[in-house]
Amino acid sequence: MSTRRPRPDIDALARRSLRLIGALQTTEGAYPASPTFSAYVGYSWLRDGAFIADAMSSAGQVDSAGRFFEWCADVVLRRAGAIEWIVEETSAGRRPPAEHMLPARFTFSGDDGTDDWWDFQLDGYGTWLWALAAHLTRHQLDPAPYREAAALTARYLLASWERPCYDWWEEHAQHVHVSTLACVAAGLDAAASIVDTDLSADIRSELTAIRRLVMTQGIGGGHLLKWLGSTAVDGSLAAAIAPLGFVDPHSEVARRTISAIESHLTVEGGVHRYLGDTFFGGGQWPLLSCFLGLAHLAAGDTGRANALLDWAASTATDDLDLPEQTPGHLIAPGMRQEWIDRWGPVATPLLWSHAMFLRLGIALGRIDVEAITTDGVAQ
């Protein structure tokens, strides 16, 4: 049974999204992934948080986004010793085991979690740098307070980017994922404008290596692939086109990647993560509809981007909460109940879903930032 409603009020949902994210941001600056979902309560992810901050920054919430980036900087600076050790060990040819790499999510006070998790994920370390640089440019802010944390993060990524790790979906740790590489490259590229010249030169040469690797092993059938050497596509790859800009939106690779995501993973406007997804039955993710919408918009198809925004908005509950995924079209219906029994109902609201709705709606000009805020603050 679908929770989708026929004609959502974009304006009301935008106000609600802004208010929800603003109200749930913690005093430390972290954005919780979801306030109620059992497995996420008490944690902030770099990946979710960076995209949430990017949306808040686009919505003129300069203070909120800035507080998140300060939280990220603190998280990284507190791990300076671990990062130096990882960099040294790696350069001495002793690759640290995955359990010694930095985690994907943190408690609100910036500590490592105490529950077991699929923690070794590199994408969030690139994504926070990318979102930070976009925020500094958008609001013409001074990068100096972030220089040290950006340099440490960049050195961690330079030492580690070639390693297999868990992907956006915290799965398939044995592979090198193309959307992870896109996040890492976007973050390194962004950091190059913040850090000192020597590090910046190292970054430039490594960026060439990342691109070469993706172009030789990360493309098949003309489109980006889920992981190096795979043949499949993944919904997260839309982000490589926009907002990350790793792939030129007018290129043939972008055109074919969008087309593969549309034909393999999209039903109406709802985008699946990948074929073979069984998490809560493998439903459609409104946040991925928004990423695909951003890619279409960057490539010039405003009509399709608008339709994807409408689809994402239509997944809101009567209380205007956006879920992580919807059960309208499931890849593995038999697996849904197993996850409900394990973790409870699908995460709702998911702040990342609200953020991506805001981000696409603002990019399309369908959300009027001035109208939904007063004195720059969500009302």
- Give Cα separations from 343 to 88, 117, 206, 272, 338 (angstroms): 39, 14, 40, 20, 9
Position 168 contacts ligand BGC (CB under 6 A): yes
Question: Does residue number 311 form part of the binding site for ligand BGC (CB under 6 A)?
Answer: no
Q: Which stretch binds ligand BGC (CB under 6 A): 39-47, 154-162, 182-190, 305-313?
A: 39-47
318 assigned to active site = no
Cβ closest to ligand BGC, residue 189 vs residue 324: 324
With respect to ligand BGC, which residue has the nearer C-beta, 169 or 311?
169
Report if residue 189 touches ligand BGC, rule: CB under 6 A.
Answer: no
Per-residue exposure over 179-217, b if at least 16 CB sit within 10 Å of its own CB, e if not: bbbbbbbbbbbbbbebbeeebbeebeebbeebeebbeee
Angle at 127 between CA 147 and CA 195, to 5 degrees: 20
Shortest distance, position 166 Cβ to ligand BGC, whole Å = 9
DSSP assignment string, 274-288: -TT--GGGT-B-HHH
Backbone phi, psi, residue 268, to 5°: 55, -120
Helix intervals (H) in 139-196: 147-160, 178-192
Q: What are phi and psi of 43, to 5 degrees?
A: -125, 150
CB of 198 closer than 8 Å to CB of 252: no
48 binds ligand BGC (CB under 6 A): yes
Distance in Å, CB of 192 to ligand BGC, minimum: 26
Q: Does residue number 125 form part of the binding site for ligand BGC (CB under 6 A)?
A: no
Q: Which is nearer to ligand BGC, 68 or 168 (CB)?
A: 168
Query: Is-catalytic flag, 370?
Result: no
Q: Where are the alpha helices (DSSP H) in 78-177?
A: 80-91, 123-138, 147-160
Give the residue carrying structure tokens 């239509």. Answer: 314
Kindly report the number of other CB atoms within 10 A of residue 317's CB atom.
13
Q: Do residues 165 and 101 lie in contact, with contact meaning Cβ atoms separated by under 8 Å? A: yes
Q: Does 31 bind ligand BGC (CB under 6 A)?
A: no
Q: In terms of CB distance, is 215 or 275 closer to ligand BGC? A: 275
Residue 274 as a binder of ligand BGC (CB under 6 A): the answer is no
- Residue 169 within binding range of ligand BGC, rule CB under 6 A: yes
Residue whose structure tokens are 């009509």: 303
CB of 301 to ligand BGC, least distance (A): 26
Q: Does 291 bind ligand BGC (CB under 6 A)?
A: no
**CB of 353: closest distance to ligand BGC in angstroms?**
9
202 is catalytic: no
Cβ at position 127, least distance to ligand BGC in Å:
11
User: How many Å apart are CA 314 and CA 10, to the nearest integer?
Assistant: 9
The stretch near ligand BGC (CB under 6 A) out of 49-57, 165-173, 212-220, 362-370 is 165-173
* Span near ligand BGC by CB under 6 A; candidates 95-103, 167-175, 359-367, 370-378: 167-175
- 3-class state of residue 171 by DSSP: coil
Question: Helices in 59-105 by DSSP H: which ranges?
Answer: 62-77, 80-91
Q: Which two tokens stand for residue 275?
A: 């074929």
> C-beta of 210: minimal distance to ligand BGC in Å?
21
Q: What residues pair up with 209 in beta bridges, in sequence order?
A: none
CB of 324 to ligand BGC, least distance (A): 7
Contact pick of 16, 47, 67, 155 for ligand BGC (by CB under 6 A): 47
Q: Which of the following is catalytic: 170, 189, 206, 321?
A: 170
Cβ–Cβ under 8 Å, residues 184 and 125: yes
Q: Which of 45, 125, 227, 274 binds ligand BGC (CB under 6 A)?
A: 45
Q: Which of residues 64-123 bind ligand BGC (CB under 6 A)?
A: none
Rounded least distance, CB 304 to ligand BGC, Å: 24
* Contact flag: residue 321 with ligand BGC (CB under 6 A): no
Selected catalytic residue, list 48, 123, 167, 234? 167
Joined together, the tokens standing for residue 50 give 């960076």
Write out the catalytic residue numbers: 167, 170, 324
Q: Which residues bind ligand BGC (CB under 6 A)?
A: 33, 40, 45, 47-48, 168-170, 350, 352
